[in-house]
Amino acid sequence: MGSSPSSAETWHGTTILTVRKGGKVVIAGDGQVTLGQTIIKGTARKVRRVGTGKVIAGFAGSTADAFTLFERLETKLERFPDQLKRACVELAKDWRTDRYLRRLEAMMIVADADESLVLTGTGDVLEPDDAVMGIGSGGVYALAAARALLDGPLDAEAIARKAMSIAAKICVYTNDEVVVETLDAR
């Protein structure tokens, strides 16, 4: 007897990681999307450039909600060009106070040449103490691996790829179909 997805099952399956090292900033994301115990897709693209291409972003959570947030972030970046933090704070304000946006279930990591930030639906705009951040179901595993690799000889992209590989071996909601976006950092 087969089972069908119940309303209690939710979409899972994201690891997003950012690493800043050696004049580069990288955001990497895996491609797995699951519903309950079933892998629905293995090659989802959860990392992309936004705005004029000077900002990269990755999302964890509901896909439709994340696309809504990408669109809202692009609008804020148009209003506040070259002011990532300000655009993110304005988005976080809307996310927290707007009745429709409040229901969105997603988190984002965004980065430009100067800063990396995590945005949450509770109104948080967080900056890391160090050069790495991770979100999503495998985010803590990727974050721990990246921190361990940060002082070694690997560059930002190699650290992100290695850390994502480690997370994929630990988290059942993370796979090794990794998409990486890179920017020059200051």
**Beta strand residue intervals within the chain, DSSP E:** 11-12, 15-21, 24-29, 33-35, 38-41, 47-50, 55-61, 106-111, 116-119, 125-126, 132-136, 179-184
Handedness of CA 144, 89, 87, 48 (dihedral sign): positive
Asked whether the beta carbons of 17 and 28 are under 8 A apart, the reply is yes
Each residue's pLDDT tens digit, 46-98: 999 998 899 999 998 777 777 878 888 999 999 999 999 999 999 888 877 76
Query: From the candidates 14, 15, 34, 174, which is the catalytic residue?
Result: 14
Q: Above 70 in pLDDT, residue 100?
A: no
- Specify the pairing of strand 15-21 against strand 38-41: unpaired
Asked whether the beta carbons of 160 and 180 are under 8 A apart, the reply is yes
Each residue's pLDDT tens digit, 10-51: 445 689 999 999 999 999 999 998 887 888 889 989 999 998
pLDDT at 135: 93
Give yes or no: 14 in active site.
Answer: yes
Each residue's pLDDT tens digit, 113-132: 999 999 887 778 999 888 99
Each residue's pLDDT tens digit, 102-111: 566 678 999 9
